[in-house]
Amino acid sequence: MVSIKSLTALELGKKIKQKEISVKEAVCASLAQISEIEDKVHAYVSVDREGALHRADEVQKEIDAGRLKGPLAGVPAAIKDNICTKGIPTTCSSKMLEKFVPGYSAQAISNLEEAGVIVLGKTNMDEFAMGSTTETSAFGVTRNPWNFRHVPGGSSGGSCAAVSAEECFFALGSDTGGSIRQPSSYCGVTGLKPTYGTVSRYGLIAYGSSLDQIGPVAKDVSDCAAILETVASYDKKDSTSVLRESYDFTSALREDLKGMRIGIPADYLGKGLDSQVKEAVLKVADVLRKKGAVVEEFDLKLVEYAVPAYYVIASAEASSNLSRFDGVKYGYRAPEYQGLHDMYKKSRSQGFGTEVKRRIMLGSFVLSSGYYDAYYLKALRTKALMKQTFDAAFQKYDVILGPTAPSAAPMLGESLADPLKMYLGDIYTISVNMAGLPGISVPCGKDTQGLPIGVQLIGNCFEEKKIIRAAYSFEQSRTYEAPQMVRIEEKCP
């Protein structure tokens, strides 16, 4: 008998509709798994057990009455802790927002709830999404379910670890420079970053406003397509939201790749890439060729400038966005201070962690008088050039193929000891955000340590269907594999 928690989100949704599994049984399976292994993985910051069980009863009634018919009705999910959820703490894994409980939900959450999805709780993350390992959280590190001595990636490491460890059936994350795709690669799950403006940012606590985008993390491509179809919508509350002609993504789930042109940037396969990752990516290229695609290498310039330009822009936007956390209206306030300026200084010094303070200082520096032109404006010009470079590439290719990360998941503590090395780990994902493009990471193998490797597929703006089609076609050549973790009885804890 197949374990409930081993099902994909769509498989579970189908069994709930056919009355083979009740919504409460599905919620209990997730809660039981959380109770059993959460002390080892630490994927969650908070779990709303009572709320999830109460919501399960409500959703079951709606399904039985025929009012909820969507493919995800009754499916339990986890939400990254920088996406606002009404009545559930949203902390950004920071001491600064430790006691913040939103009075409203993000538009993406409202869309999920309308579809009958059950929110289990909030997942751990790098503080204010600033990091690549989920080690900068104020509430402790998250561990990779494949090997507890390794990081899950970041900043959506909690969401990806929760899906990988079968503590939920899917999760939402946010992606500013690869924060969905990179941890998906490290944790052996599938993560999709949509085109900028496809999913409303209303209710997403901002890091880099011109880069942030909410997206799904799941066990396979089909789930990601269905989740994106559910959360994507035009939202007048978000000035960057785009009204698209169609929000149909599941129709792209077909194997035929005849005539599809796929390019592999030669720059992505050079210095700094682990040989095992390179081998895995080239094997994916061979599979796609056999499926009918034309695959060839090409030169994608400006890759070397992606990391410095990104960190200048993202840090500048972060310094502006995080200035609101000053201890006055909400958030952490220092217990002892003398005067207004001392309160600002102490509240921010004590409320923010090291990595957040580093990026605020960098952002304030590049925006300061005398350095604005030299750094910030130059980074914006580089961003525009990168978009032009991708535009030229997509005149020739439908999809760009490459690694998601330079290597498999590093050991805990390795990256924080060398922040520059951590920043360079985002080299393959950052340019997608800079150009506002969609990208998806799909598991494609394991290294000699048994750690997952991910491959990334990048599409042109608003062409998610092409990357979904290519990713789905590759996925049919392999089966989803979960970490070998203890199987437990699926009863409500």
- CATH at residue 82: 3.90.1300.10
pLDDT at 336: 95
One digit per residue, pLDDT tens: the chain, 493 residues?
A: 568 999 999 999 999 999 999 999 999 999 999 999 999 999 999 999 999 999 999 999 999 999 999 999 999 999 999 999 999 999 999 999 999 999 999 999 999 999 999 999 999 999 999 999 999 999 999 999 999 999 999 999 999 999 999 999 999 999 999 999 999 999 999 999 999 999 999 999 999 999 999 999 999 999 999 999 999 999 999 999 999 999 999 999 999 999 999 999 998 998 889 999 999 999 999 999 999 999 999 999 877 889 999 999 999 999 999 999 999 988 999 999 999 999 999 999 999 999 999 999 999 999 998 899 999 999 999 999 999 999 999 999 999 999 999 999 999 998 777 766 666 678 899 999 999 999 999 999 999 999 999 999 999 999 999 999 999 999 998 777 878 765 555 666 6
Of 306, 293, 301, 289, residue with least CA distance to 265 = 301
Number of folded domains that form the chain:
1
pTM of the model: 0.96
Q: What is the pLDDT of residue 421?
A: 63
In a domain, 411, yes or no: no
**Is 439 among the domain residues?**
no
Tell me, yes or no, whether 294 lies in a domain.
no
What's the domain range around 156?
4-251+459-475
Domain assignment of residue 15, yes or no: yes
Distance CA 450, CA 276 (A): 11
Give the residue numbers annotated as catalytic, written as ranges: 80, 155, 179
Residue 65 lies in a domain: yes
Please say whether the beta carbons of 137 and 154 come within 8 A: no
Q: What integer pLDDT is reported at residue 269 of this predicted model?
A: 92
Q: Distance (Å, rounded) from C-alpha 383 to C-alpha 307?
A: 11
Q: What is the reported pLDDT for 254?
A: 94
286, part of any domain: no
The answer to whether residue 403 sits within a structural domain is no
How many residues are there in the chain? Answer: 493
Rounded to whole angstroms, what are the CA distances from 140 to 134, 162, 224, 353, 408? Answer: 9, 15, 28, 12, 22
Taking CA atoms, 433 is separated from 107, 120, 195, 438, in Å, by 21, 29, 9, 8
Q: Nearest Cα to 215, choosing from 158, 177, 250, 174?
A: 174
- What distance in Å separates the CA atoms of residue 99 and residue 479, rounded to the nearest whole number? 42
Domain annotation covers residue 58: yes
Contact yes or no for 166/6 (Cβ under 8 A): yes
What residues have CB less than 8 Å from 350, skipping those under 6 apart?
95, 332, 334
Mapping DSSP onto H, E and C, the string for the chain reads CCCHHHCCHHHHHHHHHCCCCCHHHHHHHHHHHHHHHHHHHCCEEEECHHHHHHHHHHHHHHHHCCCCCCCCCCCEEEEECCECECCECCCCCCHHHCCCCCCCCCHHHHHHHHCCCEEEEEECCCHHHCCCCCCCCCCCCCCECCECCECCCCCCHHHHHHHHCCCCCEEEEEECCCCCHHHHHHHCCEEEECCCCCCCCCCECCCCCCCCEEEEEECCHHHHHHHHHHHCCCCCCCCCCCCCCCCCCHHHCCCCCCCCEEEEEHHHHCCCCCHHHHHHHHHHHHHHHHCCCEEEEECCCCHHHHHHHHHHHHHHHHHHHHHHCCCCCCCCCCCCCCCHHHHHHHHHHHHCCHHHHHHHHHHHHHHCCCCHHHHHHHHHHHHHHHHHHHHHHHHHCCEEEEECCCCCCCECCCCCCCHHHHHHCCCCCHHHHHCCCCEEEEEEEECCCCCEEEEEEEECCCCHHHHHHHHHHHHCCCCCCCCCCCCCCCCCC
